[in-house]
Chain A
Amino acid sequence: MSNTPLDDDLHEAMSRFKAAAQAQPIELPKIEPPAKVLVAFDQSNQDDAVAVAAREVCTRFGATAVLALASPGLDIETRRKHLEAMQAKLAGVSCEISPPQDDEDPADRILDAQQAAGAKFLVLPAPYLENLDKLGRDSVGSTAERVLARATTPILFVREPREGMAGCFGKPLTKLHVRQPEAADALAVGFALCGTAAQFRVLFVVDAAAMTEAAALLGHEVDPAKLTDQALLDDAQAAAGSLVAAAQHWASDHKAALKVDFKIGSDPDVTAREANDGGHLLVLPCPADRNSSAYSRALTVLRLSSVPVLMV
């Protein structure tokens, strides 16, 4: 299609019906609130922001915060002072102090502390540095990357310290991809964390350049007429039906506000821009396969985001 205005109108209307006709029932997993949340910090200027995020998470889940100081090479007294300072910032939240770890690598310390505490959720800083061109891959910090690469639980990365960060939890933005198995988990964890009072937003991004490249790699010729923005958005909408339906059913059952958006552009850029501009909590599905392109994309989004990012 896409030859005449009538074809375009038909294509647009059909894409919606296709979404309904092709929708497969998706059961969102039931999320048990974690009893313990590991809160890692590193005496940086992000400690306050980590405390705000940890307070939100622990309060919303009714969980105990397990405090772990990730910086190596501190004497016991200094370490105790920092932990007590963090505990004071979390006044009102049940706290435990993680036993000291011997590891040199902060990432090992965090993961070992998590294992020792049996924490099913992580909160840790991932520095947000604006000069991304120069910093490249280091911009979220190597510790955050290594923890992400090895963790098996959701991680909330605290990025730029910002005013009113707690407000982000009231407006989560979940970025989904239609063929990502972790998408349902990301939705469910976002719903469980942010609760029914939040204004949920679900975002799908159509990356035309990536699609063309993938098609070329597979040896498929792409008809440029079919790559109009509207046609791409229509097709994305048709393909996303199952996830949209699952999200809307949850929202309906819990009387929550949920809005679905489809955008076109470079996936990481659009996602990060939408999240940063809107001051959202960004929820991202993160594939278990750390060599996959989806994992690389998720990491790039994390690097570009200045808002807290929850990787599921």
Chain B
Amino acid sequence: MLLSSESSAFDPAWLPMAVLGVIMLITYLFIAFEKLHKSVCAIVGAIAAVVAAMAFGLFKTHGYHEVHEIIGHDLNILGVIIGTSILVDTVGGSGLFHFIGIRVVKMTGGEPRKLFLFVCILTFLFVSLLTLAPGSLLMASLVLVICRTLGYHPKPYLIAVAIVANSAALTTFSSGIATLMIGTAAEIPYFQFFIGSTPLAFATGAVAFLLLVKLYGKKLLEDASKAGDPVALKQKVAGFDEWAMVKDRRVFRRSAGVLGATVVGFATAQALHVGLDFVAMAGGMAALLFCAGDPEQAIKKVKWPVILFFVGLFVIIGAVKATGLLAVTADALVSLGGGSGTVLVLIIGGFVMLTSGFVDNIPVAATMIPVLDPIAKANPGMAAALFWVLISAANLGGNSTPIGSVSSVIALHALEADRGEKVGWGEYMKAGGLILAVQAVFVLGYVLLMMNLGWFPDLPKYVKG
């Protein structure tokens, strides 16, 4: 057990719950409405939470050192973020991802519908391999350059990047930070992802693509007809030279090798009894050693604000957990479900999808993990369904609003920076909301079907008791 107790010994017990709960709520509101930098919000919230927890005597066993234990418990997440960040920056420097991007675009011949399909496929590939933020950034920049070169309007393509990316984050254990957090906490075996969420990643990605074609297909063709002679456009695309971005072929080949080895490492980490953080760090260091990486530059490029944000968040949630509030919430959820697993899955799925649209999905996932943990312990047969629905809902929930996920923030910012064009909430939600509604049916239907048929493999952590 991480903390000395999951329920507070303070009398009355509701007081620390209320105070810490309010601190967490205020922090989340500040994060959602961007009143302060989110890292500052999280750290200030963490300081307030620690002060309150100390005042209520919640850290009984180790005193203040329990803060370090809380952070230490989730160090693996931070290790994965730091390691993959170094890996992606260094491997990206070889031109490998850009090379793949241009190669694939050349295959479309600039034909708008084909280009749209390949943008979606590439987004899926890059996000699956590189996680949400770097994958989306790469695709947003590719879309801007290609559209500018061909005279197409980038908006439909960027919205596709924003939305398809969230499906891709479900593909494997390491495709998204929220996925990683939940997978790690629930100790989900890597290969169970191919049953639990990979099918949903493909299905919801396909749903997104089809609905986006329905919504923007006409516009794509109109833009293309305005852009000029298709034969000339085809020639222009054929003239793209992917080697123009490669600085060193040997480094390029080594980068592909290091990236491939890291992906294999992620898949086999559990079998090798090491953490994903070990694989990520090893991959990052291999990239620095063998791929002409600049350590100063690569380490500087690590998203340190994100690391601080996580540290703050973990401390807040650890302190709130110590009050017993999250256990009470879990009980309330079970009561609300009236003992029905189906209702519980629907409630969790709906709630997480809704909140992930407004608050970053990381705090939502981080908060829900300790809520679902006791429920899963009490109901091992339901554990898999609960965590699969949490993973899917936390990632896809971001589709509903323009601030719901990192991918939409990046894609819409790219559009604004390049064309000075803003996509309003109404316009975005018309596409994202509709897509999420259909995706929700798929996700909930799939999880409930698999749960009721008993086809989800048991999660070892909960079967062990």
Contacts and interface: CB of A to CB of B under 8 A. Distances in A.
A, B from the same assembly: yes
Interface of A: 1, 6-7, 9-10, 13-14, 16-25, 237, 240-242, 244-245, 248-249, 251-252, 257-261
Interface of A, helix, strand, loop or mixed by DSSP: helix
B254 to A, nearest CB: 12
B241 interface: yes
Contacts of B247: 244, 259-261
Contacts of A244: 243-247
B423 to A, nearest CB: 16
B460 to A, nearest CB: 39
Contact of A258 (B149, B240, B248): B248
Given A1-B417, A257-B250, A19 B245 contact: yes
Interface of B: 92, 95, 98, 101-102, 137-138, 140-142, 144-146, 149, 239-251, 410, 413-414, 417
Contact of B243 (A7, A237, A248): A248
B248 A6 contact: no
Nearest to A261: B247
Contacts of B137: 6, 9-10, 13
A241 B145 CA distance: 14
A252 B249 contact: yes
6 contacts: A13-B137, A13-B138, A13-B141, A244-B246, A248-B249, A260-B248
A10 B411 CA distance: 10
A202 to B, nearest CB: 9
Given A6-B410, A258-B248, A16 B243 contact: no
Those 4 A-B pairs whose CB atoms lie nearest each other, nearest first:
A241-B244, A13-B141, A17-B145, A23-B241
Nearest to B303: A5
Given A17-B101, A17-B145, A241-B245, A23 B239 contact: yes
A248 B250 CA distance: 11
A219 B410 CA distance: 35
Given A14-B144, A21-B145, A242 B244 contact: yes
Could you say which of B145, B244, B246 has the most chain A C-beta atoms within 10 Å of its C-beta? B244
A9 B93 CA distance: 12
A20 B98 CA distance: 9
A263 B149 CA distance: 27
A13 to B, nearest CB: 4
A19 B244 contact: yes
B249 A17 contact: no
